[in-house]
């Protein structure tokens, strides 16, 4: 088998269907995954998103798993966090077929060990790739069996058991599913709650006819923002393609930053468990650790990426973790990420008081920020080093390289410059006390990065 490093990423397998991914290759991935997790899981839970290629690829993966003597529990259409629920509640390894927010021609596999523990490059993915490249050994025993199981109702009930919306006033909420898996999960999760649901693009369609299912791109929020204003909604929610991330829009149609959501949810979790640890990655606003500390919690800073977050949550016993990309992790959800649970926390907090969402979230916004600014560069290392050299010698400046380069200035401004793992890009995030300071610092760093 040829080199598979182009599609075996840091956290999952992802590629163009028909060019990089096909049924035969996926069947081999299934067999290799079965070999990896045989000692700890007697079966594999398999789910898939709404992409046209997903059911066939999921079936091929199941054939690979059963060819190695393990059973398969097929849950069919599912969001990624629904698959994590199945893995956690059944204590079985899992595989979800999705390419998240990527365009229709892509598909991929997100895998986990029993209890939704992540499988990444350093925790099994590299071994799976090596096994497939070298040739999966044949299994001489009895093949496994496939059973079907619907877990959507149980998933919804579990989430509703974690967040109490019984004291909430009635809320009008617009949800943009982007033709992704939110259209499958939201109606069941919200059923019976005091929510007047206004659905947008709930039809499952992996060709994404309305817009890309990537709420991180502001262009994909425009329709939701307009609808929130049009119907006078209390809030808007936007899910990505596999519905594991959720972005929040306030009543004015303005996005609420994932850092503010992280801080809001953290305060609610700390109210349940005073003194608990909260994880935040190094690109979240400095308001997050400040607010966590003010509420008696212990903030812990980590690298970007779900494997680092989950590993640190396990090490510290953290109750919650949040990222700037709108991934939210809960100890009570097997340390897995679920945008749906974060959204329910926001709605519960909003519904328990009379003010609008913009007023509720204002206390969690303390600084101005640039958002992520990408630059295409020929040499990531050289450009990053040039930035470090330009700032490191200044009075009162602190630097660290936990993940890329982070520079802290004495006026409270800071920035992080990180290389992309998959593209020739440097990603810049800047935060400062004022918008003017953000613009000035962003311009200064970009002038060095872009030469």
CATH number for the region 154-256 comes to: 3.40.120.10
- Kindly compute the dihedral angle of the four CA atoms of residues 357, 362, 368, 371, in this order, to the nearest 10 degrees: -30
The residue written with tokens 């700890």 in the block is 40
| 76: phi then psi, degrees, rounded to nearest 5 | 70, -145
Q: Which residues contact 432 (CB under 8 A, 6 or more apart)?
A: 367, 368, 369, 411, 412, 413, 414, 438, 441
Q: Do 50 and 181 contact (CB within 8 A), yes or no?
A: yes
Residue 255 sits at the vertex; the CA angle it makes with 199 and 408, to the nearest 5 degrees, is 150
Q: What is the CA radius of gyration of the chain?
A: 22
- C-alpha 54/C-alpha 269 separation (Å) is 36
Q: Which CATH architecture has domain 12-149?
A: 3-Layer(aba) Sandwich (3.40)
Q: What per-residue confidence (pLDDT) applies to 1?
A: 66
- C-alpha 164/C-alpha 142 separation (Å) is 47
CATH number for the region 261-338+356-364 comes to: 3.40.120.10
- How many Cα atoms are found within 13 Å in the side-chain-facing hemisphere of 306? 26
Q: Do 339 and 246 contact (CB within 8 A), yes or no?
A: yes
Catalytic residues: 100
110 DSSP β-pair partners: 96
Q: Do 277 and 318 contact (CB within 8 A), yes or no?
A: yes
The residue written with tokens 């649970």 in the block is 341
- Give the residue among 402, 433, 445, 443 at the shortest CA–CA distance from 285: 433
| 277: phi then psi, degrees, rounded to nearest 5 | -90, 140
Q: What per-residue confidence (pLDDT) applies to 307?
A: 81
Rounded average pLDDT per 10-residue block, the chain, 451 residues: 87 95 98 97 98 98 98 98 98 97 94 95 95 96 98 98 96 98 98 98 97 94 98 98 97 97 98 98 97 98 89 95 96 97 98 97 96 94 97 95 97 96 87 98 98 85
Q: Do 187 and 195 contact (CB within 8 A), yes or no?
A: no
What CATH number matches the domain at 368-450, 3.30.310.50, 3.40.50.11600, 2.60.40.740, 3.30.420.40? 3.30.310.50
- Give the residue among 55, 49, 46, 8 at the shortest CA–CA distance from 239: 49
The residue written with tokens 């995030």 in the block is 429
Q: What per-residue confidence (pLDDT) applies to 11?
A: 86
Q: What per-residue confidence (pLDDT) applies to 63?
A: 98
- Give the residue among 321, 327, 285 at the shortest CA–CA distance from 300: 321
- Give the residue among 217, 214, 169, 160 at the shortest CA–CA distance from 195: 169
Q: Do 344 and 249 contact (CB within 8 A), yes or no?
A: no
What does pTM read for this prediction?
0.95
- How many Cα atoms are found within 13 Å in the side-chain-facing hemisphere of 394? 13
Domain boundaries, the chain: 12-149, 154-256, 261-338+356-364, 368-450
Fold match between domain 12-149 and domain 154-256: yes
Q: What per-residue confidence (pLDDT) applies to 81?
A: 98
C-alpha dist (Å) from residue 12 to 38, 111, 269, 429: 19, 7, 29, 25
Residue 333 sits at the vertex; the CA angle it makes with 332 and 339, to the nearest 5 degrees, is 120
Q: Do 329 and 320 contact (CB within 8 A), yes or no?
A: yes
């Amino acid at each position: 088998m040829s080199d598979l490093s182009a599609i075996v990423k840091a956290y999952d397998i992802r590629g163009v269907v028909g060019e990089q991914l096909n049924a035969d290759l996926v069947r081999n991935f299934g067999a290799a995954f079965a070999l990896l997790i045989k000692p700890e899981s007697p079966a594999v839970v398999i789910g898939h998103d709404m992409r046209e290629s997903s059911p066939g690829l999921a079936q091929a993966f199941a054939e690979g798993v059963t060819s190695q003597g393990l059973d398969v529990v097929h849950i069919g259409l599912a969001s990624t966090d629904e698959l994590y629920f199945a893995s956690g509640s059944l204590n079985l390894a899992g595989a979800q077929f999705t390419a998240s927010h990527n365009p229709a021609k892509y598909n991929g596999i997100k895998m986990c060990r029993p209890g939704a523990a992540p499988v990444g490059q350093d925790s099994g993915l590299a071994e799976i790739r090596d096994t497939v490249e070298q040739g999966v050994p044949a299994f001489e025993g009895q093949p496994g069996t496939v059973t079907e199981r619907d877990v959507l109702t149980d998933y919804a009930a579990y989430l509703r058991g974690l967040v109490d919306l019984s004291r909430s006033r009635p809320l009008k909420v617009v949800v943009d599913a982007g033709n992704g898996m939110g259209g499958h999960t939201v109606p069941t999760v919200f059923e019976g709650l005091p929510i007047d649901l206004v659905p947008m693009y709930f039809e499952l369609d992996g060709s994404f006819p309305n817009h890309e299912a990537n709420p991180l791109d502001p262009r994909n929020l425009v329709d939701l923002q307009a609808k929130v204003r049009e119907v006078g909604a209390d809030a808007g929610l936007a899910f990505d393609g596999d519905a594991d991330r959720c972005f929040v829009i306030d009543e004015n149609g303005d996005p609420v930053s994932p850092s503010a959501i992280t801080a809001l949810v953290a305060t609610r979790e700390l109210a349940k468990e005073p003194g608990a640890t909260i994880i935040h990655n190094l690109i979240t606003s400095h308001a997050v650790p400040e607010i966590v500390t003010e509420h008696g919690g212990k903030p812990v800073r980590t690298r970007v990426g779900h494997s680092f977050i989950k590993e640190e949550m396990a090490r510290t016993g953290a109750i919650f973790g949040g990222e700037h990309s709108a991934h939210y992790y809960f100890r009570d959800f097997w340390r897995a990420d679920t945008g749906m649970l974060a959204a329910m926390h926001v709605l519960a907090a909003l519904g328990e008081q009379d003010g609008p969402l913009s007023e509720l979230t204002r206390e969690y916004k303390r600084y101005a920020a640039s958002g992520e600014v990408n630059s295409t560069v020929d040499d990531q290392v050289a450009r990053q080093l040039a930035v470090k050299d330009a700032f490191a010698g200044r009075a009162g400046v602190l630097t660290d390289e936990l993940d890329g380069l982070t520079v802290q200035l004495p006026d409270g401004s800071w920035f992080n410059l990180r290389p992309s793992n998959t593209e020739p890009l440097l990603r810049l995030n800047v935060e400062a006390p004022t918008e003017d300071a953000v613009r000035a610092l962003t311009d200064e760093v970009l002038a060095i990065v872009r030469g």
